[in-house]
Amino acid sequence: MTTNETRPGDSRFFQRSGPFGLEQLAEASGSEIVASASGKNVAAFRGVAPLHVAGPDEVSFLDNRRYLPLLAETKAGAVILSPAFSDKLPPDTAGLVCKAPYLAWARVATLFHPDPKSTGIRHPTACVADDAEIGENVEIGPFAVIGSGVRIGRDTIVASHVSIGQSVEIGSRCRIGANAAISHARIGDRVTLYPGVRIGQDGFGFAVGPEGFETVPQLGLVVLEDGVEVGANSTIDRGSMRDTLIGAGTRIDNLVQIGHNARLGRCCIVVSQAGISGSTELGDFVTIAAQAGLIGHIKIGSKARIGAQCGVMSDVDAGADVIGSPAMPFREFFRNVATLRKLSRKSSD
């Protein structure tokens, strides 16, 4: 095994499309072409790569001033970059100039390496209930189990060892990763569940009786709207009396826990190891950073940002930025930190 850096897009692991001309790349990324000073523009590009390893038939990008020295030395045939850096292009490198280079890079990289398409093949070891409704061109991997009354839309991929419980509904063009388990759920179109995801299990609900705890039946569902992505080994509990809802376009990282009855708005971001307790509601475009914990029955306003390792114990206003435990506005938190440092220095003098 070599220790040399692996080039991106290894064909053993990633599908590849192309080649594409510079005009096609500009159209896909919404960029303006700046021709190379030498006039030697490459006719066809075959892939993407970082600035320091890209060759003449590859596309790279620059989105940070600190990497300008790499731009000066790159051998890339084209570079995606902002207008502020377009005059720094090497003589033999064309520019794809745009206001959002990272977004343009995502689109170009997707052009060369699109998501795998369904093969439509059902593996002979898969166990599919006779009354399950499987749409056109659905791929079902080895040892997958699909229960009675399940409905799966066209062009969806169900990987190996997936368990889909009774009456679950899954839309079209979804990707269900290996070893995922889904029950009591309705899932929209273009949803991605990465390996090991758990959707629809009992919420954490119990009453205290004279002889100990008694489980409260969890009678809701999990609803994942269109375009949701749920990272590996994350869990979303079904609701107790109303559904747990994840709004369209929301992105959930690996190892996230979302409790019963929680409701997340559109295009929220929840980063790894964060936990959202039951019945908490998030507005649209909320960001929850890594290892943050949210107590139950609170409301987080739209476009609020919750900092890493934050402990949120009360409502957060729309657009607010909070950090710390208990959560407080950023400025207040860092002012408190500065005060404690001053007191610490005085006590040690």
- Cα 113 vs. chain centroid, distance in angstroms? 17
Decide if 22-112 and 180-331 have a common fold.
no
Report pLDDT digits (tens) over 314-335. Answer: 999 999 999 999 999 988 888 8
Q: Which band of pLDDT confidence, cut at 50, 70 and 90, is reported for residue 344?
A: confident
Output DSSP code: residue 67. G
User: Do the bridges between strand 212-215 and strand 206-209 make them parallel or antiparallel, or are there none, so unpaired?
Assistant: antiparallel
CA–CA separation, 304 and 33 (whole Å): 37
Beta-carbon-side half-sphere exposure of residue 138 (alpha carbons within 13 Å): 21
H or E segment to which residue 82 belongs: none
Helices 101-112 and 22-29 pack at an angle, to 10 degrees, of 120
Q: Which band of pLDDT confidence, cut at 50, 70 and 90, is reported for residue 1?
A: very low
**Taking a C-beta distance cutoff of 8 angstroms, is the pair 149, 131 a contact?**
yes
CATH architecture of 22-112: 3-Layer(aba) Sandwich (3.40)
Q: List the chain domain ranges.
A: 22-112, 180-331
Report pLDDT digits (tens) over 147-196. Answer: 999 999 999 999 999 999 999 999 999 999 999 999 999 999 999 999 99
To the query of whether residue 260 is one of the catalytic residues in this protein, the response is yes
Q: How many helices (H) and strands (E) does the chain have?
A: 4, 37
Report pLDDT digits (tens) over 253-297. Answer: 999 999 999 999 999 999 999 999 999 999 999 999 999 999 999
H or E segment to which residue 209 belongs: strand 206-209
Residue 212 has a CB neighbour count (10 Å cut-off) of 7
Q: Would you call 80 helix, strand, or coil by DSSP?
A: strand
- Please enumerate in sequence order all residues whose Cβ is within 8 A of that of 239, keeping only pairs 6 or more positions apart, or say none: 203, 218, 219, 220, 221, 222, 260, 261
Predicted pLDDT at 339: 84
At CA 203, angle to CA 131 and CA 126, rounded to 5?
30
- Cα 4 vs. chain centroid, distance in angstroms? 29
At CA 201, angle to CA 148 and CA 152, rounded to 5?
35
| CATH placement of domain 180-331 | 2.160.10.10
Q: Which band of pLDDT confidence, cut at 50, 70 and 90, is reported for residue 3?
A: very low
CA–CA separation, 273 and 325 (whole Å): 16
CA distances from 273 to 234, 247, 289, 292 (A): 9, 20, 9, 7
Q: Is the pLDDT of residue 37 over 70?
A: no
Query: Which of 113, 161, 184, 260 is an active site residue?
Result: 260
Average pLDDT of 95-123? 96
Q: Would you call 340 helix, strand, or coil by DSSP?
A: helix
Output DSSP code: residue 205. -
| Confidence (pTM) | 0.91
Joined together, the tokens standing for residue 31 give: 């960029």
Joined together, the tokens standing for residue 205 give: 């609900």
Predicted pLDDT at 2: 45
Q: Would you call 22 helix, strand, or coil by DSSP?
A: helix
